[in-house]
Structure 1
Amino acid sequence: MPKVSIVVPSYNSAEFIAATIESIEAQTFSDYEIIVSDHSSTDGTAEILQRYADEGRIKLTTLASGGGAPANWRAVTELATGQYLKLVCGDDLLAPTILAEQVAALDSNPRAVMAASKRDLVDAQGKRIIPPRGLGGLNGVMPGHVAVRRSVLRGTNIFGEPGCVLLRHESFREAGGWTDAQPYVIDQFSYCQVLMLGDFVTVPGSLASFRISDGQWSVELTHRQAAQVIGMHHDLADRYPGLLSRRDLLIGDSRARLMASARRLTYLWLGRRMRAGNR
C-alpha cells in the first residue's frame, strides 16, 4: 500500500495533462501511486495518456460519458489505496516538495485529517499572474471546525483547489467522500465535512499552481456559484448545530456574493490580459 494516492480526473486536458503528470513525477517524496481517469475526452487527452501506460507507478482508467466532473472525481478516488489522498485536476501543477512537506505535517499531527498550502495562479504557459493565495490567514494546527468557520466567514474556498490539499484517506471515506450537493463547491464542501472529524494543519509556502483559463465568466454563472456557496453555508449549519451562528451566516453569505462578483471581474481582466499577450 503506497503512502499517498494521487488521483487525476482528466477531461479534454490535452494541452496540459503531460505537464501535470510530470510535476507529480518530479516529487522529492517517492512513496505514492498515480491513478488517472479520463472522462471521455475528445481532444486527444486519452492518446497522450497512453505514453504512460507502461509506467508501473501509473494506472490509467477511463469513464464513460455522463455524470460530469463529480462522477469522474468519485470514480478515480474509489481506486485509491494510499493512507493519504490528493486529487490533482488535469491542468494543475505541483511543486516538487508538496508531498514531502504535507505528508510530514500529517505524520507529525495524528489528529490532523487535512493539510493545505497556498498556491499560485498561473496562465496557460505556467507563468504566475497572481501572487500566492489561500488559507485565509490561518497558520499552524487548529481544530477543524475553526478552519471551517473561517472559510464560511470569508465567503470563499480558503483551502484552495484539491491539488493544494492532502487528506487522510480514512477520514475522507468516513466523511462520505466527494459531496456534490453543490457541484461548484464540491471540493470545499467535502473538505469541510472531513475537517469536522479532526484537526487542520497548514503547510508554509506556495506549493501548487492553479491555471486560470481565458474563458469569460457570465453573470449567470456568477449568480449560480454564489447561490451554491450560500447553500453550502446553510447545509453546514443544519448538519452541525452550533458550528455557525446567524451572524456568521449573514456575514458569510454577503461575502460569498461579493467574492463571486470579484472573481468574475478578475477572470475577465485576466482573460483580456492573456489574449492581448498572445497577439
Structure 2
Amino acid sequence: MTDARQPATARISVVVPAYNNGRTLRETLRSILDQEVDGLELIVADHSSADDTAAVMADFAADPRVTLLTTEAGGGAGRNWNRVTEAATGRYLKLVCGDDVLRPGVLARQAALLDATGAVLTACRRDVVDADGRVLMAGWGLRGLRRPMPGRDAVRRAVRAGSNLFGEPASVMMRRDLLVSEGGWFDRFPYLIDQATYSRVLMHGDFAPDAEVGATFRMSDTQWSVALVSEQAGQAHAFHAWLRETHPEALSELDRRYGDVRASLMARARRLSYRVLKRRMG
C-alpha cells in the first residue's frame, strides 16, 4: 500500500507506526489531520497487522497530505518506527503510536517553539488514559524539565531520575535531520527506544519544554512496554553504561551509578502502578 503524494514543502512530518490499532487508529489519524498547521505530512505504516488496521488507513488515502506504507513482519518497534521515519521529509518530526491522540494546536505550538529557540527537541505534558479514553493521570511529565536547558543537562536529569522524563513519542517533536544523522530510532535497548533516541538527538543542542498538555498516551495490559516491565531495570542499566561510555562529557560515573539505583527503584514502583492501573481499567 503506497501513496507518494505529499505537500510540496513539508515542514512537519507526523509518522504513525501502526500495529493492530484498528480500534483506535481512526481517532489517532483524525487528531493529526485536524491540526491547524501548514506544511504537514502524515506517514502511516501497517506492520503486518492481523486486524482491520489496513482498512482504516485506506479511508485516509484521498488526503494529499497522507502517505500509506506497509512494513514487513518482525523487527519489533524499531523496524516500523524507522520505516515511517525514513519516508519523512519535514524539518520537524513527531512519532505518534496508533493508539495515542494529539491535542489541538500541539503541532503548530511545538514547531513555533523549536523555530523561536533553535532547540533540537521539545516535549509536552500528556494525559495517560485507559483503553476507553478515561483519564488515569492528568498532565503527566516533564518533572525536572520545566525550563530550557542544554540537551546534555536534560539527558543527565533523565538518567539520574531513572525514568523517561520526556515522555512517549507523541509528546516529543525533534529535528528530523539530527534523528536521521544519528541513525534513526535506536532500539538496542527496546524498552528505552524513545529515551535512548531522544538522548542521541539532544547531544546536538538544547531542550525546550512545552508546558501545555499536548497528547494522550493510552495504557493497555497488552502493550509491549507493559510486557517488558520485568526487563526495564536491566535495560536501563545497560543504556546508562552505553551513554557513559559514548558520552562521558554528559554523564559522570556517579551519575551512572545513581541512575542505576533510581532505575531499579522506578521499575519496582512501575510494576505496582501497572497493577493498580490494570485494576482501575478492569
TM exceeding 0.5: yes
| Alpha-carbon distance in 2 for matches of 1:122, 1:238 | 37
Which of 74, 89, 96 aligns to 1:88? It is: 96
Deviation per CA, 1:179-215: give whole Å up to 9, x if none: 1111111110000000000000001111110001134
1:65 to 73, 98, 101: 73
**SS in structure 2 of the partner of residue 268 of structure 1:** helix
What are the within-5 Å matches in structure 2 for residues 58-207 of structure 1? Answer: 58-110=66-118, 112-207=119-214
* SS of residue matched to 1:43: coil
1:25 aligns with 2:24: no
Long gaps (5+) in structure 1: none
Check whether the contact 1:3–1:82 (CA below 8 A) recurs between aligned residues: yes
- Provide the C-alpha distance between the structure 1 equivalents of 2:72 and 2:105, rounded to a whole number of angstroms: 34
Query: Do the aligned partners of residues 64 and 176 (structure 1) sit closer, same or farther apart at CA in structure 2, a change above 3 Å counting?
Result: closer
Total equivalences in the alignment: 274
- The correspondence of residues 34-73 of structure 1 with structure 2, limited to 5 A, is 34-73=42-81
One-letter identity of the residue aligned with 2:71: L
The 8 Å contact of residues 35 and 79 in structure 1, kept in 2 or not, is answered as: yes
User: For the structure 1 residues 189 and 59, does the alpha-carbon distance in structure 2 shift closer, same or farther, using more than 3 Å as the test?
Assistant: same
Residue 233 (structure 1) aligned with residue 264 (structure 2): no
Residue aligned with 2:59, SS? helix
Deviates more, 1:194-203 or 1:46-55: 46-55
Look up the equivalent residue of 1:254 and give its one-letter code: V
Q: Does structure 2 retain, via aligned residues, the 8 Å contact 1:156–1:256?
A: yes
CA distance in structure 1 between the partners assigned to 2:214 and 2:144 by the alignment: 16
1:2 and 1:83 in contact (8 A); partners too: yes
- For 1:271, the equivalent position in structure 2 comes to 278
Q: Is contact 1:136-1:154 (8 Å) kept?
A: no
Moved more, 62-71 or 4-13: 62-71
SS in 2 for 1:52: coil
CA distance in 2, matches of 1:56, 1:120: 30
- Are residue 11 (structure 1) and residue 27 (structure 2) matched? no
- The one-letter amino acid paired with 1:130 is M
CA contact (8 A) 2:144 2:157 kept: no
Distance (Å, rounded) in 1 between the aligned partners of 2:198 and 2:114: 15
Would the alpha carbon gap of residues 188 and 216 (structure 1) be closer, same or farther in structure 2, given more than 3 Å must change? closer
1:44–1:233 CA distance, 2 compared to 1 (3 A): same
Gaps of 5+ in 2: 1-8
Task: Please provide the CA RMSD for this pair.
Answer: 1.7
How many angstroms apart in 2 are the aligned matches of 1:219 and 1:119?
A: 18
TM-score (norm 2): 0.93
Structure 1 residues 90, 204: CA separation in 2 closer, same or farther (over 3 Å shift)? same
How much identity, in percent, do the aligned residues show? 49
**Whole-Å Cα distance in 2 between the matches of residues 211 and 177 of structure 1?**
24
Distance 2:201 2:90 in 1: 17
What secondary structure sits across from 1:7 in the alignment? strand
Preserved CA contact (<8 Å) 1:215 1:271: no
Of residues 152-161 and 250-259 in structure 1, the stretch that sits farther from structure 2 once superposed is: 250-259
Residue 261 (1) aligns with residue 261 (2): no
Q: Which runs of 4+ in 1 moved over 6 A?
A: 216-220
